[in-house]
Amino acid sequence: MELTVLWFVLLTVLFIGFFFLEGFDYGVGILLPFLGRDDTERRIIINTIGPVWDGNEVWMITAGGAMFAAFPHMYATLFSGFYLALFLMLAALIARGVGFEFRSKLPSPVWRSTWDWLICAGSLIPALLWGVAVTNLIRGVPINAQMQYTGTFFDLLSPYTLVGGAAFLLVFTFHGAVYLTLKTESDMALRARQAALKAGVLAAVCCLILVGLTYTNTDLFRSTGAGISLWSAVAAFVISYLLVVRRRLGWAFASSGLTIALTTVAFFWGLFPRLMVSSSNPAWNLTIYNSSSSPYTLKIMTIAALTLVPVILAYQGWTYWVFRRRVSGKHLEY
């Protein structure tokens, strides 16, 4: 396998890991002010992701670093063209991270409620923007022959990409609600299940609309594998919803994670060998060939990745094993 192809696959894997893990993080944050009826319940909800949320975000940093090292031209075009959107995402993530650390510093209800809503917004905005970003990659954005983005922030917003953003947001919310059914107890777990059922209906409708718009607005379905992956993602989501109805919550969480993984595979497979589609001229598409680093750089990166990634996976797996139990009020420190 060519190193450029290998790093395209590895980049896909990194985004799968990020969307799967950070997806339920975002979902938990979005649901925080709605499911938590009082301060104790909100602290329980935060504690379900407290030991892992920052580790989950490392996948985003790793994916960005891999993009910078393996496909620097894509990195430059993406981060300069999507600058305002990425700035908004970064500001939201900062507010979210600070919220986790600061909300319990003072006992004031107003103080804590303010941070809870900032955590909610700091989870909702990135979830929405990631959907907008991914759908823009395959729909196409104005890129010239010098690999420079020539549009504005508003060129990134269209009915298709906004539906993509809403679909990501709702699927992540569903994913987070199912996660809470596994990590909380009694009444809160029941309310989390009800939230999953409500979010699941909206997500299913939005996902079907997204599939239809993907067919009419992109060439993703020119790839049989990408088309099969996208329809398989829809099927996995329906199965996940039915498992929630039947109270098979562990399998429901696995199936919602599979939905996210298959969706990511579908869009990256639909892109291959492209990295970003130019709506100005197909000849100006960014591909794994015209955007990659030198073979020597890719070789060194491959050796480093094969050495370090298993260590990171083992450590993160150990973290989840240690904090695998359900969280309740008795685990809180007063």
User: 36-57 pLDDT, tens per residue?
Assistant: 888 888 999 999 998 888 888 8
The set of residues, in sequence order, having a beta carbon less than 8 Å from that of 180 and lying 6+ positions away, is 28, 31, 35, 45, 48, 188, 189, 192, 195
Q: What whole-number distance in Å separates Cα of residue 192 and Cα of residue 197?
A: 9
Cβ burial 250-283 (10 Å sphere, 16+ → b, else e): eebbbbbbbbbbbbbbbbbbbbbebbbbbbbeee
Residue 128 CB burial class (10 angstroms; 0-12, 13-18, ≥19) = buried
Q: Is the pLDDT of residue 28 over 60?
A: yes
The percentage of the chain sitting over the pLDDT mark of 90, rounded to a whole number, equals 72
- Residue 194: predicted pLDDT: 95
| CA 19 from centroid of its chain's CA atoms | 3
Tokens for 226?
């990408």
Q: What is the pTM of this model?
A: 0.93
Q: 153 pLDDT exceeds 90?
A: no
Number of alpha carbons in the 13 Å side-chain half-sphere of residue 39: 16
The whole-chain average pLDDT of the chain stands at 91
The enclosing H or E element of 65 equals helix 53-70
The encoded tokens of residue 190 equal: 């029941």
Distances (CA, A) of 135 to 228, 231, 302: 17, 16, 28
Task: Give 333's pLDDT tier (boundaries 50, 70, 90).
Answer: low
The encoded tokens of residue 241 equal: 């919803």
DSSP state of 62: H
Residue 329 is predicted with a pLDDT of 65
pLDDT of residue 37: 87
Q: What value does the mean pLDDT take over residues 74-83?
A: 90
32 and 42 Cβ atoms separated by less than 8 Å: yes
- Cα 194–chain centre separation: 23
Q: Which helix (H) or strand (E) holds 8?
A: helix 3-35
What is the spatial distance between Cα 67 and Cα 59, in angstroms, rounded to a whole number?
12
Average pLDDT value for residue range 230-243: 95
Structure tokens at 201: 């209906």
**Position 228 pLDDT exceeds 90:** yes
Query: pLDDT tens for residues 163-220?
Result: 999 999 999 999 999 999 999 988 899 999 999 999 999 999 999 999 999 999 999 9
Max avg pLDDT among 32-41, 96-105, 168-177, 307-316: 168-177
pLDDT above 60 for 334:
no
**Mean of pLDDT values over 109-134:** 94
DSSP structure string for 92-155: HHHHHHHHHHHTTSS--HHHHHHHHHHHHHHHHHHHHHHHHHHHHHHH-B-B-TTS-B-S-GGG
Q: What is the pLDDT of residue 154?
A: 87
pLDDT at 97: 92
Residue 259 has pLDDT above 70, yes or no: yes
